[in-house]
A and B are shown apart, each in its own frame.
Chain A
Amino acid sequence: DGGITQSPKYLFRKEGQNVTLSCEQNLNHDAMYWYRQDPGQGLRLIYYSQIVNDFQKGDIAEGYSVSREKKESFPLTVTSAQKNPTAFYLCASSIEGDGSYEQYFGPGTRLTVT
């Protein structure tokens, strides 16, 4: 089955620790995205990548880092510099990154930092 997987579903970390969220897709999509969702809020774009070995900052990139070494994978690292990391993190992909194509979402990772 084709799709997007994110792991883990729930993640708990202590303040000051870096944490990496996994996102894998087997849809052969060129573009991948990371969003953050807070309660009662819309999705806010953290980073996106239109092709392998290239990525761009979104609206709220501070405190986050990404890599895109393989087409299938787009991991997100939440660093200790992110002031309010507790949120629902969503990974998405689309055929291309030109804005014309729909994005498909993974199941999400709920991160809690205490």
Chain B
Amino acid sequence: QKEVEQNSGPLSVPEGAIASLNCTYSDRGSQSFFWYRQYSGKSPELIMFIYSNGDKEDGRFTAQLNKASQYVSLLIRDSQPSDSATYLCAVNWYSNSGYALNFGKGTSLLVTP
């Protein structure tokens, strides 16, 4: 089984600060990486995806990918209390029966006013 590891947290940051969420993965063949946000009791919501090494920015969110080191991170600038949620990292991998996404257990983020 391919592994996707995330620090469970909680990660606590003050409002307006930068939140940094990290994820490592074990399958060197993985090509697609996704970040989802999940509020308590709700389903995951896609925030960003990244395929190439480097940074990808979308509003207050930046995804960073380093395939050589096998990590992907998510930066949230100007954090807001509404960003408080669990963030799931997902990595694609190829099994005998096709492609699937492997999810980490998530990092809980708490943004304090």
Contact = CB atoms under 8 A, between A and B. Distances in A.
A102 B99 contact: no
Contact of A42 (B97, B100, B106): B106
B99 A106 contact: no
A24 B103 CA distance: 23
B94 A99 contact: yes
B105 interface: yes
A20 B6 CA distance: 33
Contact of A90 (B8, B43, B104): B43
Given A99-B32, A102-B49, A107-B43, A43 B97 contact: no
Interface stretch (A11-19, A54-62, A67-75, A76-84): A54-62
Contacts of B42: 107-108
B69 interface: no
Interface in A26-51: 33, 35, 40-45, 48, 50
A40 B45 contact: no
A64 interface: no
B99 A57 contact: no
A44 B1 CA distance: 12
Contacts of B1: 59
Given A90-B44, A99-B93, A42 B104 contact: yes
Contacts of A42: 4, 88, 103-106
Contacts of B51: 100
Interface string B68-110: 0000000000000000000010101110011111011110000
Given A33-B101, A45-B100, 7 more contacts: A43-B88, A43-B103, A48-B98, A50-B98, A56-B98, A102-B46, A105-B43
12 contacts: A42-B103, A42-B104, A43-B103, A45-B101, A48-B100, A56-B98, A59-B1, A97-B98, A100-B31, A100-B32, A103-B101, A107-B43
